[in-house]
Chain A
Amino acid sequence: QVQLMQSGAEVKKPGASVKVSCKASGYTFTSYYIHWVRQAPGQGLEWMGIINPSGGSTNYAQKFQGRVTMTRDTSTSTVYMELSSLRSEDTAVYYCARGPGGGGGYWYFDLWGRGTLVTVSS
């Protein structure tokens, strides 16, 4: 069925990096953008950025530029989100979400992964 399957929970030390995967199935991987959204404990949703699986182009939220890298592997229909220089404030559930292509004004997220908990602690 149509789904996004995310990798398992991670525990990292401050200053380390984490790489979360999101494997798409049940639809044409290159026909939809993939977004990353995170949610700190008890907090709201925060958009991190987007990758176009077709060409690999990315657009990162200003807050994360320089620390986040999104890549994709079309052979396995998988998108990756790597966040570096981790700090305690990065402790959150990280979601991948599918959305239509085109400009930002037309975006929405119609399919979500179950989320990956990343805990940053010394």
Chain B
Amino acid sequence: QSVLTQPPSVSAAPGQKVTISCSGSSSNIGNNYVSWYQQLPGTAPKLLIYDNNKRPSGIPDRFSGSKSGTSATLGITGLQTGDEADYYCGTWDSSLSGNWVFGGGTKLTVL
């Protein structure tokens, strides 16, 4: 059971928009930056969003991030079949001994 809660799956048609939620608590999302990762099948994860809403160079502006309170959201517009992947949120958790934590991951299907 992950400390951060993500929906197991989401789906949408090509060209549409989808959002993926990541719910936590004050010990993690509420007081720390959130980052998002895309993992295409059989490959290593790739950074999509850091510091809640910043995109690394090379990441298209179709990808966006936001945070409110103890929840964060990844948005993807203009969906493409190549966006089919697993998406993970992550942040620092300052409870107990302190750990980095990931959400359980969300499988995006582009119908």
A residues sitting closer than 8 Å to B (CB atoms) are 35, 37, 44-47, 50, 59, 61-62, 95, 97, 103-115
Contact = CB atoms under 8 A, between A and B. Distances in A.
Nearest to A98: B47
Interface string B1-34: 0100000000000000000000000000001110
A79 to B, nearest CB: 16
A108 B88 contact: no
Given A44-B88, A45-B105, A107 B44 contact: no
A47 B93 CA distance: 12
Contacts of B51: 106, 108
A90 B99 CA distance: 19
Contact of A104 (B32, B50, B96): B32
B21 to A, nearest CB: 16
Interface string B85-111: 000101110101111111111000000
